[in-house]
Amino acid sequence: MSGERAKVWVNGTLLDPDEAVVSVFDHGVLVGDGVFETVKAVDGEPFALTRHLARLSRSAAGLGLPAPDEAALAAGVRDALATAPDWPLARVRVTYTSGPGPLGSERGREGTTATIIVAEQTPFPETADVVVVPWARNERGALAGLKTTSYAENALALAYAKERGGGEAIFGNIAGNLCEGTGTNVFLVLDGELVTPTLEAGCLAGVTRALVLEWCGGVERDVPLSELYRAEEAFLASTTRNVQPIRKVDGTPLPAAPGPLTLKAMEVFAAHSAELTDP
């Protein structure tokens, strides 16, 4: 990665990275009271920006935060990208918090904080090895299905997976069903059928997940976590990975990576996303 950096957008102002700061009293820092989105940009063009900002608004509503200004954020994304080097692939992080507050859980009254950061994105490997972690997602919790800045559980899980040779960690939920990865949705091929957990399983409503279902088909249903180990093929779906075949689960190879349905999903997703930058 080069040493060149894009400017950072903070509450409507573009700043040099060394000058871009938020208050140490910001509740996004103090208590993780915020939401975010990661948007892929290809050759300077953000992908599915409308869907990402709509999900940001849904996550904010789920936390009881004021609605973010989607139009201002969309303009901010493009303004920040315009200052970036000519990276073929970039990662745009949009963060929206409840703003400065007291040293506790009660929110302050100074207004929200919004930031946009652009960085170069290194492509992921062609396949992924995943590790199932011993902690369960609470599909009935207050944060279920929201993309919040409270990411310590994901950081812990990913470190657990990395220590065991994995590139992604997989969560089951309290009911014992498959849920999601730390930053991915999971698709399996079981008895020749493409399936993915329902949103009621506690997983995030991934933008790539939705596009795979729209463009490639598939069934949403509860999937016992044990089914992951007998899958004929499987893949991860996320903004930065697109469709990434799973090669191993807890060190055990799957029969195919990619298998025929995964390969079809990869090809269809690549073709449609090349034609539509904001599907």
pLDDT score for 2: 46
pLDDT score for 4: 83
pLDDT digits (tens, 9 = 90+) for 173-191: 999 999 999 999 999 999 9
- For residue 156, what are the contacts with CB-CB under 8 A and spacing of at least 6? 135
Residue 252 clears pLDDT 70, i.e. is over it: yes
Give bridge partners of residue 193 from the DSSP assignment: 190
Preceding peptide of 17 cis, ω within 30°: no
pLDDT score for 3: 65
pTM for the model stands at 0.95
Q: Which structural domains are found in the chain, ordered by start?
A: 8-120 (3.30.470.10), 128-275 (3.20.10.10)
Average pLDDT over residues 64-81: 98
The whole-angstrom separation of Cα 248 and Cα 252 is 5
pLDDT score for 10: 98
Average pLDDT over residues 118-146: 97
The whole-angstrom separation of Cα 167 and Cα 258 is 16
Question: What's the whole-number average pLDDT of the chain?
Answer: 97
Residue 1 clears pLDDT 50, i.e. is over it: no
Among candidates 152, 88, 80, 83, which has minimal Cα distance to 122?
88
Give bridge partners of residue 129 from the DSSP assignment: 248
